């Protein structure tokens, strides 16, 4: 192949730039459904990228041994927002379609039969460079997006823990994809050693494996995880328990949406503080199972739950239930002893205890529940005896 022949092929390719770009646009519209569904503005930017790619190939083709950085500049012709509008797979389709159009015209673009192989090999080499450039663009975008998402996560998590949810937090949550997520709970435990970002990524991988969404962060020595798309708080917590350091792992109640998560986080954190008082607690343990410890630790939510949802409900239902419960607990769980104290048959005591379980969800014959019931009686009596402020 002579230098004159090569120069002739270069000129033919250069003159065909406009026609190749037009043909590539027509081919994309005909073969790529996602392209046809795009807005006119986004299609124009995609066309510009295709034209820039062909023009860059011509420049590169003139001097293949010169700087090849021009391939990275191909994608610089479009705005940064296009990276969000066009996925990496769609970019691959774009490059593949454009290269295919050029490849189909190799025979007519080559000045002589000897130039065909040279032109085709040059085009394939250039397409490799373009592919690497596309990967670089999307890698940078993913890195920047990951850093921004991490910042948003940190702000949202901090607001949830401080119970300071406003419109800005809702907007940030929506930006993270939590706008329509339901079934939210907060899990708290000791943070493991190592890089917090690595820990966070491991937690999110496990959550995704169980079809859950996760916002997580290390707060002091605590690892806090907000889980979404959960049907059962305890079952969801088990998906991420292995990522916590040894010690208690406490899961707050399930709430409808992210905006309601402060209640779950408040109970989860209170349970985590009080869990040291129950060394044999399961892992994970629900914050509601730690009501006695939380109440003794001064948690107002736990005290309110034991007084309002246990003691006052029993009082409102039937005062004889309160008397029966007190008699049963004072006689160390003896049905016969409580029956003698109340002058009733043991079956009557048994029946009333079943009613108490139906009303409160706590079974007096279960030691943990019996402790919660005893503490509810104590706190309820103290609340009734306290003078109004």
DSSP string for residues in 244-272: SPSS-EEEPPPBSSGGGHHHHHHHHHHHH
Distance of alpha carbon 20 from alpha carbon 55, whole angstroms:
10
d(CA 232, CA 183): 8
Which pLDDT score, from 0 to 100, does residue 2 have? 56
Q: At what angle do helices 167-175 and 113-161 cross, to 10 degrees?
A: 150
Contact 278, 295 (CB under 8 A): no
Helix/strand/coil (H/E/C) assignment for every residue in 308-353: HHHHHHHHHHCHHHHHHHHHHHHCCCCHHHHHHHHCCCHHHHHHHH
State the pairing for strand pair 285-286/249-251.
parallel
pLDDT at 203: 92
Question: Could you read off the pLDDT tens digit of each residue along the chain, which spans 389 residues?
Answer: 456 666 777 777 778 777 887 888 888 888 888 777 877 777 777 777 777 777 777 776 666 555 444 444 555 544 555 555 666 677 777 777 877 887 787 777 777 777 777 777 777 777 777 777 666 666 665 555 555 566 777 788 788 888 777 787 777 777 778 878 889 999 999 999 888 888 888 998 999 999 999 989 887 789 999 999 999 999 999 999 999 999 999 999 999 998 889 999 999 999 999 999 999 999 999 999 999 999 999 999 999 999 999 999 999 999 999 999 999 998 877 889 888 989 999 999 999 999 999 999 999 999 999 999 999 999 999 988 765 54
The label of the residue with tokens 């994970």 reads 284
pLDDT for position 75: 56
Do 377 and 307 touch, CB atoms closer than 8 A?
A: no
- Residue 78's alpha-carbon distances to 46, 49, 163, in angstroms, are 8, 7, 42
Provide the CA 55 distance to its chain's centre, in angstroms: 42
pLDDT at 104: 80
Biggest CA–CA distance in the chain, Å, is 119
Q: How far apart are CA 349 and CA 335, in angstroms?
A: 6
Q: What is the structure's pLDDT at 148?
A: 53
C-alpha to C-alpha distance for 350 and 338, rounded to whole angstroms: 10
Q: Using a cut of 0.85, tell me whether the model's pTM lies above it.
A: no
Closest CA to 259 of 380, 178, 365: 178
Cα-flanking dihedrals φ and ψ of residue 295, to 5°? Answer: -65, -45
Q: How far is CA 41 from the centre of its chain?
A: 32
- The whole-angstrom separation of Cα 121 and Cα 127 is 10
């Amino acid at each position: 192949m002579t230098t004159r022949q090569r120069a002739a092929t270069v000129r033919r390719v250069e003159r065909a730039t406009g026609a190749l770009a037009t043909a590539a646009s027509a081919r994309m519209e005909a073969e790529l459904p996602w392209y046809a569904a795009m807005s006119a503005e986004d299609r124009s930017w995609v066309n510009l990228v295709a034209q820039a790619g062909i023009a860059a190939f011509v420049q590169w083709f003139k001097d293949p041994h010169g700087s090849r950085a021009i391939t990275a500049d191909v994608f610089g012709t479009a705005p940064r927002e296009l990276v969000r509008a066009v996925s990496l797979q769609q970019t691959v389709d774009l490059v593949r379609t454009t290269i295919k159009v050029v490849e189909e015209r190799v025979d007519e673009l080559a000045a002589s039969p000897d130039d065909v192989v040279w032109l085709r090999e040059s085009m394939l080499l250039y397409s490799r460079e373009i592919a690497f450039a596309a990967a670089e663009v999307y890698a940078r975008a993913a890195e920047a997006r990951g850093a921004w998402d991490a910042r948003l996560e940190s702000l949202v998590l901090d607001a949830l823990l401080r119970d300071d949810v406003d419109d800005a937090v809702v907007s940030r949550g929506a930006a993270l994809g939590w706008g329509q997520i339901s079934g939210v709970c907060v899990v708290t435990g000791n943070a493991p050693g190592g890089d917090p970002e690595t820990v966070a990524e491991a937690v999110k991988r496990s959550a995704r494996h169980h079809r859950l969404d996760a916002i997580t962060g290390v707060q002091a020595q605590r690892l806090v995880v907000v889980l979404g798309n959960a049907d059962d708080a305890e079952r969801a917590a088990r998906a991420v328990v292995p990522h916590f350091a040894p010690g208690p792992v406490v899961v707050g109640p399930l709430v409808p949406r992210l905006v309601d998560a402060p209640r779950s986080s408040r109970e989860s954190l209170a349970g985590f503080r009080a869990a040291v008082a129950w060394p044999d607690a399961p892992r994970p343990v629900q914050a509601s199972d730690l009501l006695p410890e939380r109440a003794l630790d001064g948690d107002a939510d736990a005290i309110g739950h034991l007084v309002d949802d246990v003691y006052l409900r029993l009082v409102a239902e039937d005062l004889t239930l309160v008397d029966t419960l007190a008699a049963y607990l004072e006689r160390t769980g003896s049905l016969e002893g409580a029956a003698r104290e109340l002058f009733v048959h043991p079956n009557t005591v048994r029946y009333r205890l079943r009613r108490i379980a139906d009303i409160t969800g706590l079974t007096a014959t279960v030691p943990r529940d019996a402790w919660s019931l005893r503490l509810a009686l104590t706190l309820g009596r103290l609340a009734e005896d306290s003078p109004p402020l």
